[in-house]
Amino acid sequence: MPKFIKYKFVNGLLLLGLSLLSPIGCQGDYGNPPSGKTVWIKPNETRLIFTMPELKQSQIRVRRYTSDNGKHIEELGEWYRFDKSSIAGLLLSQSAEGPPLNDPQDPMDIAGRWAVFRDQKPSFGILKKSNNILGPVIWRRTGIGTRTCVVFLQRWSLERRSTSSAPITSLSGYYCNKPGKVFSPSLAKKALKSIGLGQKTQPTLP
């Protein structure tokens, strides 16, 4: 169980808003991400799925980024409420050739990319691996203040090629329980199994 680090909780909605306003492409490891277009999309237009019952009454805001050459597509969604309920985020990053814009190798590498973790000092648990409908997923539990969360990522190539030029998709994100609530490993696995991708119409990679 990761140790909690105490801090004065800043307005969660403001933090979520900051992450939603930052360009998707700038969250990657690229110093100069390719130019492209970012648009807000309706919740029923996203492929991102997070079916945790605790998120049922949450609002979701989603942006989609498409590079000008069409080789990189990203969708970022965050589930939030105006009270201190459970919160979550998903980032789908797809590439037509080579690694996607966001391609972390460890779940703790993604924490700083989300406003809820930004400027905080989260403590991370050991790296674990399990499976969901999309395949293998690696994850860590993490503590921020009185919240316990799980950060996770999974990565795959639809063409099953091992070359560096193979199209790659990564899905990363987080789920945080209500402040002060117990967050067992079984709850973390339940959250991971609630992740999915829908079959909504999306831009086609070249």
15-28 pLDDT, tens digit each? 343 343 333 433 44
Residue 14: pLDDT band with limits 50, 70, 90: very low
Residue predicted with more confidence, 145 or 202 = 145
Q: What is the reported pLDDT for 102?
A: 75
Look at residue 9 and tell me whether its pLDDT is greater than 70.
Answer: no
DSSP assignment of 170-189, as one string?
A: EEEEEEEPPTT----HHHHH
Nearest-angstrom CA–CA distance, 103 and 28: 7
What does the block give as tokens for 91?
Answer: 């980032």
Helix (H) or strand (E) segment spanning residue 14 = helix 12-21
Look at residue 160 and tell me whether its pLDDT is greater than 70.
Answer: no
How many angstroms separate the Cα of 78 from the Cα of each of 36, 41, 84, 148, 203? 21, 12, 14, 17, 21
Predicted TM-score (pTM) of this structure:
0.79
Q: Which of 42-51, 112-121, 168-177, 181-190 has the lowest mean pLDDT?
A: 112-121
Q: What is the reported pLDDT for 119?
A: 80
- Conformational region of residue 12, where left means phi above 0, alpha means psi within -120 to 50, and beta covers everything else: alpha
CB 91 within 8 A of CB 84: no
